[in-house]
Amino acid sequence: MDLIARIDELLAQRGWSRYRLAHEANLSESTIFSQKKRGYNPQFSTIESCCNAFGITLAEFFDPDLQDREFTLEERRLIYDWRGLSLEMKDAVQQVISAAASETKTE
């Protein structure tokens, strides 16, 4: 797999520049630009940071068919963030969502 081409594909899907990716992924601009300019494959940690910025999993990065096209980018980011929460945090989030949904129904 051409890792740089995959990053380019994800940038194009979102309409992002390399500057934006660097900002969203908390990476230096030189890290992002030198890969493209010099043809260096990104390090695993760089790919992981890019995936976090894009709101996708590493599996989705390496196998684009895994990306569920029915979810928006925002929804995918929520799912990705959800996976990293502890059970206690998930319970708290569920309570907040339930309360918000109940409040919306009564309006």
Asked if residue 72 and residue 55 are part of one domain, the reply reads no
Q: What's the pLDDT at 59?
A: 83
High-pLDDT (> 70) share of the chain, %: 95
20-41 pLDDT tens trace: 999 999 999 888 888 777 777 8
Cα torsion 23, 81, 49, 28 to 10°: value is: 20
Q: For residues 54 and 74, state if they share a domain.
A: no
Kindly state whether residues 63 and 19 are assigned to the same domain. Answer: yes
User: What is the rounded CA–CA span in Å between residue 53 and residue 26?
Assistant: 8
Would the pLDDT of 71 be above 80?
no
76 Cβ neighbours under 8 A, 6+ residues apart: 55, 56, 67, 68
CATH code for the domain of 31:
1.10.260.40
pTM reported for the whole predicted model: 0.61
Residues 50 and 35 both lie in one domain: yes
The answer to whether residues 42 and 60 belong to one domain is yes
Residues 19, 44, single domain; the answer is: yes
Q: Residue 64 has what pLDDT?
A: 78
Assign 69 a pLDDT band (cuts: 50, 70, 90).
Answer: low
Are 18 and 55 in a shared domain?
A: yes
Q: Indicate if 31 and 59 belong to the same structural domain.
A: yes
| Boundaries of domain holding 12 | 1-67
- What's the pLDDT at 67? 62
Please name the residue ranges forming H helices in 1-107.
3-14, 18-24, 29-38, 44-54, 58-62, 73-83, 87-106
Total number of domains in the chain: 2
Structural Rg of the chain based on CA atoms: 17
